[in-house]
Amino acid sequence: MADDELARTPEPPYYAVIFTSHRTGGDNGYAAMSDRMVALAAAQPGCLGVESARDSGIGITVSYWRDEQSIADWRAHAEHTIARETGRAEWYRDFAVRVAKVERAYGFSA
């Protein structure tokens, strides 16, 4: 689940899938599906964490993965496939997906 903690990823390299979107108006089942997809993604083999934020402008979800195969397996997941199709038909005005290889990372904690 995206429990509002920062993802505790291992040392790079690993992969990030950056999903940015604008919603259509109304919920239409979106909130429940979104929570379910984050939980389901986080439970997939090779998933290293999920971070998600949405404000009045855009939504950004970044999921982190051990390798390309883990991303491909999640993409092929039946429930995820249905959610993606509904997303195009109902929930999103537009979106972008970027798959990136994390090369370095650092953090700060007060």
Could you list the residues that contact a copy of itself (CB under 8 A)?
A: 2, 4-7, 9, 12, 16, 18, 20-22, 24, 51-60, 62, 88, 92-110
Closer Cβ to a copy of itself, 26 or 57, answer by number: 57
Closer Cβ to a copy of itself, 39 or 105, answer by number: 105
Give min distance, CB of 21 to a copy of itself, in A.
8
Which pairs from 100-104 meet CB under 8 Å and 24+ separation?
Answer: 100/15, 100/16, 100/17, 100/18, 101/13, 101/14, 101/15, 101/16, 102/9, 102/12, 102/13, 102/14, 102/15, 102/16, 102/64, 103/12, 103/13, 104/12
Give min distance, CB of 62 to a copy of itself, in A.
6
Give min distance, CB of 63 to a copy of itself, in A.
11
Look up residue 72 and give its two tokens.
């491909």
